[in-house]
Structure 1
Amino acid sequence: MALADIGSPVRRWAKAQERAYNNGEDRPLGGFLGAMSVYSTVVATGAAVVRASGKQLPERIPLGDAVLITIGTFRLARRIAKDPVTSPLRAPFATFNGASGEAELSEDVRVHGGWKHAVGELVTCPFCLAQWVGTAFVFGYVAAPNATRLAALVMTTAAGSDVLQFAYDAIQSKATGGGEDDSGSDG
Structure 2
Amino acid sequence: MTTDAGQYDDQGEVPLAGYAALASVLATGVGAYALVARSRGVRLPERLPPWDVVLLGVATYKTSRLLTRDKVTSFVRAPFTRRTGHGEANEVLDEPRGTGVRRAVGDLLCCPFCTSAWAATALMCSYTASPRLTRMVCGGLGAVTVADWLQYAWTWTQRTAGQ
- Provide the TM-score with structure 2 as the length reference: 0.94
* Pairing of 1:84-99 with structure 2 (within 5 A): 84-99=71-86
Q: Which has the larger radius of gyration?
A: 1
Q: Which residue pairs with 2:101 in the alignment?
A: 115
Could you tell me how far apart the structure 2 residues matched to 1:127 and 1:25 are? 23
Q: Report the CA distance between 1:161 and its aligned residue.
A: 0.7
Once residues 117 and 11 of structure 2 are traced to their aligned partners in structure 1, the CA distance between those partners, rounded to angstroms, is 28
What is the identity percentage for the equivalent residue pairs of Structure 1 and Structure 2?
Answer: 35
Where does residue 6 of structure 1 map in the other structure? none
1:154 to 140, 143, 146: 140
- The 3-state SS of whatever aligns with 2:87 is strand
Q: Give how far 1:108 is off.
A: 1.0
> What is the CA–CA distance in structure 2 between the aligned matches of 1:49 and 1:67, rounded to whole Å?
27
- Aligned equivalents of 1:24, 1:167: Cα separation in 2: 42
Equivalent of 1:105 in 80, 83, 92: 92
Kindly state the Cα deviation for residue 91 of structure 1 after the two structures are TM-superposed: 0.2
Residue 39 of structure 1 corresponds to which residue in structure 2? 26
Instruction: For residues 118-166 of structure 1, give each alpha carbon's deviation from its aligned partner in whole angstroms, at most 9, with x where no partner exists.
Output: 0000111111111111011111011111111111111111111111111
State how 1:1-20 maps to structure 2 within 5 Å: 19-20=6-7
Which residue matches 1:135?
121
CA–CA distance in structure 1, aligned partners of residues 101 and 52 of structure 2? 35
Deviates more, 1:149-158 or 1:20-29: 20-29
| Root mean square deviation of aligned Cα | 1.4
Structure 2: how far apart are the matches of 1:159 and 1:65?
16
Matched, 1:61 2:39: no
- Per-residue CA deviation, residues 72-122 of structure 1 (Å, 9 max, x unaligned), is 0000111010000000000000011121221110111121x2000000001
- Unaligned regions of 5+ residues in structure 1, if any? 1-15, 178-187
Deviation of 1:55 (Å):
1.4
Residue of structure 2 equivalent to 1:145:
131
| Unpaired runs of at least 5, structure 2 | none
Secondary structure class of the residue paired with 2:60: helix
User: Counterpart amino acid of 1:77?
Assistant: S
Task: Report the CA distance between 1:25 and its aligned residue.
Answer: 4.0
1:171 alignment partner in structure 2: 157
Query: How many correspondences in the alignment?
Result: 160
In the alignment, what sits opposite 1:70?
57
